[in-house]
Amino acid sequence: MPKPRGSKSQEPLQLFIPYSWKPYLDNKKKVRGKNRKIFEQLQAVVSQLQVALEKDEFESFEVKEATRDFLILVQGNKK
């Protein structure tokens, strides 16, 4: 039997948006050595993903959306 709305057993929906969020690749400035190279490799892959997205090379709508979300996470929203 479905529970009635307003039941005390339902928890409210919570969203988490960090106040100090910044794009992941902005952290590159704070790393040196082999870890810096990893950031540079990630930056190259991100650039390739951006180009593929702009050229509409992904067939799946879900992949397009996931790629956009990933690019926003690592680069920030460039709109």
- The pLDDT score that the predictor gives to residue 78 is 67
Model confidence over 49-74: pLDDT tens digits? 999 999 999 999 999 999 999 998 88
The packing angle between helices 61-75 and 34-54, to 10°, is 140
**pTM given for the model:** 0.67
State CA 39 to chain mean position distance. 16
Q: What are 10's two structure tokens? A: 């339902």
Q: What are 19's two structure tokens? A: 């106040």
Q: What are 46's two structure tokens? A: 């991100």
